[in-house]
Homo-oligomer: A and B are copies of this chain.
Amino acid sequence: MVIEGIWVVEKHTDHILYLYRIKEHIYHGKTAYQKVDMVVLESFGKTLFLDGKIQSAEIDEAVYHEVLVHPAMITHGSPEKVLIIGGGEGATLREVLRYPVKKAVMVDIDEQLVKLCEAYMPEWHRGAFYDERSEVIFTDARQYIENTDEKFDVIISDLTEPIEGGPSVMLFTKEFYQSVYDRLSDEGVLVVQSASADVYYGNLYPHIYRTLKEIFPVVKVYHTFILSFQMDWAFTIASKGKDPEDVNAGRIRDIISDFEGELKFYTPDMHYAIFKLPRYMIENLKNGRVLRDDNPAIWES
């Protein structure tokens, strides 16, 4: 092989490094919140790195965003108002807008990042930012949630990991989730991207699961492999009553058949399959603790 060239080095953990060859440089800089590298990788196409970690890649962003959005939306069945916490690239919003919602609010603290994504990564938002149903608010999501009177049918937490000193530490606590609960309609569904489901890499999902169980009657973890993270990835659904595994398969088929454009990952079959956990994940769920404002999760890889 030709080794010469320009590579991104990603620290997976202290003991594993990844090198990705860069094909093109798009943008390198810093926002008020994070270091941003937008590049075209030979392997994954256009790719966003935040603070040195792959955040989203052209080759499989659809997989991540479909698996984040559709199980919760379909569990609700007919969401009209949706809130996205985080979701900078606009692809979560894009997937939400496939449904006949009335309003989709996206709250992201990092305006500069959202603007960079809007300009340089249009393949992600595909115009979602300009849909008249969209409202994008640049503020701290906790502040927003605690101060709004709105109710939402689905709330989607699409945040980066709670790195020490980072902006999302206080968005994974019981206190925060209580406020989220209060902002959900009676049939409301919350979904939380819950980081790695890997047996080696550090795990956050048992704590998210345990914390949500304190508040919500229905809490279920699901997972799927995300290529560009090179890991199995966990998500957690919590609801005031609706159970994602009780959804009717024909109903799923009907809903997605109305979608414009294609799906890359999601099928009715996959809807159920992702909720089946390997034994090691089932065991690991027992290790969760309740995350609280005075003792939040701090992510270390």
Closest residue of chain B to A267 (Cβ to Cβ) is B279
**In angstroms, how far is the closest chain B Cβ from the Cβ of A172?**
23
| Cβ contacts under 8 Å, A231 to chain B | 225, 227, 230
Q: Considering the chains assembled together, what is the distance between the CA atoms of A36 and B267 in angstroms?
A: 41
Main secondary structure of the interface of A (DSSP, over half): mixed
Return A287 CB to nearest CB of chain B, in Å.
Answer: 15
C-alpha spacing A272/B21, complex, angstroms: 38
Q: If the complex has contacts A3-B11, A15-B20, A15-B43, are A276 and B282 also in contact, measured as CB distance less than 8 A?
A: no
Q: Known contacts being A5-B52, A227-B232, A270-B276, is A43 close to B60, with CB within 8 Å?
A: no
The answer to the question of A14 belonging to the interface, with a C-beta cut-off of 8 Å to chain B, is yes
Whether A59 and B19, one on each chain, are in contact in the complex, defined by CB atoms closer than 8 angstroms, is: no
Q: What are the residues of chain B within 8 A of A37 when measuring CB–CB?
A: 6
The distance in angstroms between the C-alpha atoms of A59 and B33, with both chains bound, is: 33
Question: Are B282 and A267 touching (Cβ within 8 A)?
Answer: yes
The CA of A44 and the CA of B17, in the complex, are separated in Å by: 13
Chain B residues with Cβ below 8 Å from A264 are: 278-280
> 8 Å CB contacts to B: which residues of A16-48?
16-22, 24-25, 28, 37, 39, 41-44
Interface size on A, residues (CB 8 A): 61
Closest beta carbon of chain B to A234's beta carbon, Å: 11
- B15, A16: Cβ atoms under 8 Å? no
A1 and B6 contacting across the interface, CB-CB below 8 Å: no
Judged by a CB distance under 8 angstroms, whether A8 is at the interface is: yes
Known contacts A3-B1, A52-B5, A199-B60; A16/B25 CB under 8 A: no
Asked whether A6 lies within 8 Å of B7 as measured between CB atoms, the reply is yes
* CA of A42 to CA of B16, assembled, Å: 9
State the 10 A-B residue pairs at the shortest beta-carbon distance, nearest first: A4-B52, A273-B276, A15-B42, A17-B19, A273-B273, A225-B232, A269-B276, A15-B21, A15-B43, A225-B225
- Give min CB distance, A159 to chain B, whole Å: 20
For the complex, what is the distance from the CA of A124 to the CA of B131, rounded to whole Å?
Answer: 51
A6 and B3 in contact (CB under 8 A), knowing A13-B43, A20-B16? no
Known A3-B3, A44-B200, A59-B199; 18 more pairs at CB < 8 Å: A2-B14, A2-B52, A6-B22, A6-B37, A7-B7, A16-B18, A16-B43, A18-B18, A18-B19, A24-B28, A25-B28, A198-B227, A227-B231, A230-B231, A264-B278, A264-B279, A267-B282, A270-B278
Given contacts A4-B10, A7-B9, A230-B230, contact A267 B263 (CB under 8 A): no
Looking at A18, A41, A59, the one whose CB has the most chain B CB atoms below 10 A away is A18
Chain B residues with CB under 8 Å of A51's CB are: 4
Q: Which of A242-270 contact B (CB under 8 A)?
A: 263-267, 269-270
